[in-house]
Amino acid sequence: MKTLRGVIRGKAIELSEDPGLREGEQVLVTVSPLPSGPSAAGEGLRRSAGAWAAEADEVDRFLAWNAEQRRADRQVSEL
């Protein structure tokens, strides 16, 4: 499965790149418009969070490690 960007031209979709399929091959298409402007704060995080569901424990460990690194950096810079 591949995600491509494209532009609607009437009933056709002009793709931004070659889909790698043979001419005349049938495909299943799901269409969703791209956001037109800057997204709301945190929207990218909300949209990507589901991808982390299988690695929730690993994400928790990373976030704890990251917070500890930030605390250590602040302690050093305060000296």
Give the domain ranges of the chain.
55-79
The SS3 assignment for 20 reads coil
Contact 27, 33 (CB under 8 A): no
Residues 51-75 have pLDDT tens digits of 777 888 888 899 999 999 998 877 7
Mean pLDDT of 19-41: 85
Distance separating alpha carbons of residues 15 and 17, to the nearest angstrom: 5
| Coil vs helix vs strand at 46 | helix
- For residue 72, what pLDDT is reported? 82
**Does 79 have pLDDT greater than 60?**
no
Q: Find out whether 59 and 66 touch, Cβ atoms under 8 Å.
A: no
Residue 44 pLDDT exceeds 80: no
- What pLDDT, on the 0 to 100 scale, is given for residue 38? 65
Residue 6: which H helix or E strand, with range?
A: strand 6-9
Q: Which residue has the higher pLDDT, 43 or 5?
A: 5
pLDDT value, residue 53: 77
Q: What DSSP character marks residue 3? A: -
